[in-house]
Structure 1
Amino acid sequence: MGAADLASVFDRHARELLRYCTRRVGPQLAEDVVAETFLVAYEHRGRFDPDRGELLPWLYGIATNVLRRHRRVEIRALREAARGEAAPDPEHDEAAASRVDAARDVARLSGVLARLPRRQRDVLMLFAVAELEYAEIAAALGIPLGSVQSSLHRARAKVRAALEGDAR
């Protein structure tokens, strides 16, 4: 992969990776994570084996590893979002109240995500945000397909239980 190839790969996949990383660590850090992802991909281009899968899941795997290095930032952002509940202002219309309700839902979900084990959070985010298939997640994280399935099942169950518990 030369410089021209890297530019082509960046043009094709940077937006998807940026969306995924922004959901994980916010917009400021996401750009750095994506840039670092492509730097690592270029440095390790000899390790990519097209026979083992597509390029995008490989890039998601690199991005997830880079995000792990920024794990504390992600956890802090999720916890801040979990504490970010605001009371509705009576001066605002119903749209404002809906936004407050949505913010509360995001806060609850963020708190649950912050408490998930790393693998479960990574699998859930790659599935829900990056919209990868199970096999792509397995390739991205370098784990068996069965581990993806069980991690996703456990993560969903924990999220469901926590949100149902909050609703009561």
Structure 2
Amino acid sequence: MRAAYELYGEELFGFACKALDDRQLAEDVVQETFVRAWRSPRGFDPDQGSMRTWLFAIARNGVVDAMRRRRVREGPGHSSWDAVSESPSAFDPVDQLLERIQLGEALDRLSPQHREAVVEVYFGGRTCAELGEELGVSASTMRSRLYYGVRALRLVLEENGWLAS
């Protein structure tokens, strides 16, 4: 756990601090994250994702819990917090960060050719014809790589529980 803390502690703190906008509360969340991880080591399955992803998932739950506790403490008279916590976008930055981590790990599991096709076309905004020309392969080959790359990506995300089946 000490090695995990040294590797990911600062990153988790930044994540919690940004989500909560409260350094002390963020420190508490990070501490609780590592306590939860230490108490439930069987929750980590390297076939499901990296240690980093697992810790971020625990931290996200800690952030949500901290937000709920803060809301209860502040009571119903605190309208600004009520508006934020009821908003559907209240966790968007947190969810987006977790999604990027999960997507990055899923992309790492694709073959280099499939990963390149998916990243360049979906995230780079390029066409299969452009990419194929640059790589010296036909557009139909690039479309095939893209199709099978997206299919493999979906399977990885589903296997890891990151995407509904």
TM-score, normalised relative to structure 2: 0.51
Q: Report the CA distance shift for 1:53/1:133 in structure 2 as closer, same or farther (over 3 A).
A: closer
Mark the structure with the bigger radius of gyration: 2
Identity of aligned residues (%): 26
Q: Report the CA distance shift for 1:54/1:71 in structure 2 as closer, same or farther (over 3 A).
A: same
2-structure distance, mates of 1:16, 1:47: 21
Number of aligned residue pairs: give it: 108
2-structure distance, mates of 1:48, 1:41: 8
1-structure distance, mates of 2:19, 2:85: 10
Instruction: Determine if the alignment matches structure 1 residue 47 to structure 2 residue 16.
Output: no
Match of 2:101 in 1: 132
Match of 1:32 in 2: 28
1-structure distance, mates of 2:30, 2:6: 12
Q: Report the CA distance shift for 1:128/1:40 in structure 2 as closer, same or farther (over 3 A).
A: closer
Q: Secondary structure at the match of 1:60?
A: helix
**Structure 1 unaligned residues grouped into runs of 5+:** 1-5, 84-109, 148-168
2-structure distance, mates of 1:74, 1:56: 28
| Bigger mean CA offset, 6-15 vs 122-131 | 122-131
Q: Please tell me whether the aligned partners of residues 8 and 52 of structure 2 are also in contact (alpha carbons under 8 angstroms).
A: yes
Decide which of 2, 16, 38 is 2:11's aligned counterpart. 16
The alignment yields a C-alpha RMSD, in angstroms, of 3.8
Please report how far the alpha carbon of residue 68 of structure 1 lies from its aligned counterpart in structure 2 after TM superposition.
Answer: 1.9
Q: Which runs of 4+ in 1 moved over 3 A?
A: 110-115, 120-124, 128-131, 133-136
Write the mapping of 1:135-154 to structure 2, written as runs, cut at 5 A.
144-145=162-163
Decide which of 55, 60, 63 is 2:56's aligned counterpart. 60
2-structure distance, mates of 1:143, 1:123: 19
Decide which of 122, 131, 134 is 2:91's aligned counterpart. 122
TM-score, normalised relative to structure 1: 0.50
Q: Report the CA distance shift for 1:143/1:51 in structure 2 as closer, same or farther (over 3 A).
A: closer
**Structure 2 unaligned residues grouped into runs of 5+:** 106-156
Q: Please tell me whether the aligned partners of residues 18 and 30 of structure 1 are also in contact (alpha carbons under 8 angstroms).
A: yes
